[in-house]
Every structure is written in C-alpha cells, then in structure tokens.
Structure 1
Amino acid sequence: MNLSWDNDLLTGTDRGYTNGVRFSYLTDTADENDGKSARFARILRDELRFLPGIGTADSKQAVSLSLRQFMVTPEDITVEGPQFDDIPYAGHLSLSGTLWSWNADTITGFGAHIGVIGPESGAESVQKWVHKATGSDKPQGWGNQLGTDVVGGIQAAHGRKLLQAGQGGNIEQRLSVIGSGLRWYLLSHRFAGLVQGFRQ
C-alpha cells in the first residue's frame, strides 16, 4: 500500500493545481502460491495473455490499483462568483488498474481508468475540510465548479533496457527507453441527457 499527497499549502497560494492524493496497491506476483492478491493477478494474466508481452514464460506479472483525487482552483479563492479571467474550480476522482508484466530486460503494462469530474469527485468537501483544519482561507467559489462528466480510458506502456554497465552488488548504470499511449473517453452528463430525451 502506498499513499502520495501533494498540496500547495507550503507555497501559500491556491493558483492552478491545488491538491492531489493517491492511494495505490500492488498485488503479489501471479506466480505466488498463496494469497488472494496473487490469485487476482493470475486471473488477469490468464485472461489477457493474448496481449503482447503478457504471460511469457520468463516474465512475472502483478496488478497495480490506484484511487486518485485532484483539484484545481483560481488564484483568489475568496471570490464567490465566477472568475472568467482565471481557471475554474474543478475536481477529479478516478480509479485505475494496470496489469504489469516484466523480466530482466523489459516491462509492459496494460491498464484501464474510470473517473468523474464535477461535484461527485468530492473535491469541494475535501478542500473545505483541509482549509478549516489548517486555518486557511475558506474557498468560496465551488458553486461555480465544472459540471459532471464521466471520463474513462485505456493505456498501454512498454519499456526496454538498452544498456547495463557495472557488476551486481556494486553501482550499476542502466539506459532504458519507455513509451506509453493513453486513450481517454468523455461522456458528458449533458450529452447523456440529450440521448435519453431522444429515446423517450
């Protein structure tokens, strides 16, 4: 289990990227004999074996799961009305999972992401709670935050070791190349409502 948190509290400003928190978990490897997390990795490995780099004889597999929330706000959070000359209030909450497969020379990952932008992200209540606990200015403009949108995506990544120098147990140098691609999908609540209206 891993927790990462970043916040602009130390800089004393709320301009732009304001806060982000992520909880991450990495399962045991699929070749472990016991443990539910190893079994989960094994199931995904077997189901996705058709993907390149997954399930080869010399590789190990594990699954990473992440829950992430981040928010952005305008510079002056004491203003209640919209600030058309600055960025809007926005919150994002997402869940992602990635199956990783690696050996001594390569690493490959395939993942999926689902999340929501808008009030359902919980960003408003989190920022107000943090600012109250730290004695910071109360954010006044969350009533103008971006509306609800559902986002999702798929991701693929691959890395390969090009060069390694040094001996085991001593300082080693490695040169690797890593590439990744991400495809996002956006489902707006306004578009969904329009489609539902036509169906009626």
Structure 2
Amino acid sequence: MTRSFLLQQLELITPFQLYFNPELIFKHFQIWRLITNYLFFGPVGFNFLFNMIFLYRYCRMLEEGSFRGRTADFVFMFLFGGLLMTLFGLFVNLVFLGQAFTIMLVYVWSRRNPYVRMNFFGLLIFQAPFLPWVLMGFSLLLGNSIIVDLLGIAVGHIYFFLEDVFPNQPGGGRLLRTPSVLKAIFDMPEDDPNYNPLPEERPGGFAWGEGQRLGG
C-alpha cells in the first residue's frame, strides 16, 4: 500500500492504472486492478488521512483482539470481503474500493465489541455498533457518496452473520471455513500438550508482557 502511494505521488503511476474496470480486467487481462483498486485513497488530504487512521486502528484491534492467534482466519476475512466487494463492484459504479474495505473492518470490530463506548471528535458518545453509521453520516455531511460506506457495511454484516450469528442459531452451522492451505501458511503449529518446559526466569521477578483484553 505504501509503495503504491509513493509511486502515485511521484507520478510514476496514475489512478487510471489502478482503478477497478471489469472490461480491462477480463478482456485485456489487467488482473492487477483486482488488488490495486483497494490501495488508492485519493490525494493526500483529510479524507486520505481519515481512511489511513481508521484502517490502521481497526485492522490492528481486530488482529490483536478477536483474531489473536488466528492469522489464517484474519487473512481469510480479507479475501472473503475483497471477493464480495469485487462481485458487488461489477454492478455498481465504483472504481476504488479501499474505503469500503475500511468500513467493513470497522463494522466487524464494532459488532464484536458492542459494549465499548465511542467518542466521535468529542461531539457524539455512542456504543460501538453505531460507529459505521456515524461514519456514513459524517461522509454524507462532507458531500461524499454513501454507496461506498453502504457496500462496506453490507459486506461486513454478511461476514459477521455467517461467522458469528448463524453458527449459534438453531439448525445453524459454520459456512465459512478457512482453507487448510491458509492455516498451513499463516498459523503457527500447535504446541505439544505433553511438552512441559521449565519455568522461564523473568528479569527482576516481574510478569513482563502481561496485558488486558481490549475494551476491558
């Protein structure tokens, strides 16, 4: 993402080489557009910084929270969300989907942390599940199209429903299963339950590295 941004700012590439165009992808085999359309957030400005901050913040909180120790599942969520957005992108007039991807991450995090209180620029205080809708309203106030936000919310809701809601319903089950190849690549091998290492000495006798659960 950083490399793409630097190349664009140096004018070595242009947004016209990155945007989502089904005709160029499927007829002219410019396959890279399936990925690069997620890497462009516009020129440096408020909207760009806003997206970068939210993308970094909620990607990190998901990785360190509900996906802790589940890197393969985290990557699978990226692939599943990206695939759905690309399919939806065939039917709506959107050329860059990076902001929708950010909203998807925000939506999944907000639904998995429903009791966290949010403070939006010191103006609004609300529970986490309202955050994607507040962001959509803020985008509307800035004069932006809310189609991108709605797409991110829709894809985030589909993932959350299939992963967190439907499996817990009567007669439900897990429809989303992380492919074993992703687990082999990204997940660390499980520890041997019969292995009993010697106690690790901690400098100064303190329990270094212990933390609290996010939102706790």
Same fold (TM > 0.5): no
Give me the TM-score of the superposition, normalised by structure 2. Answer: 0.23
Give me the TM-score of the superposition, normalised by structure 1. Answer: 0.24
Structure of higher CA gyration radius: 1
Higher relative contact order (CA 8 A, sep 6+): 2
Please identify which structure carries the higher helix content: 2
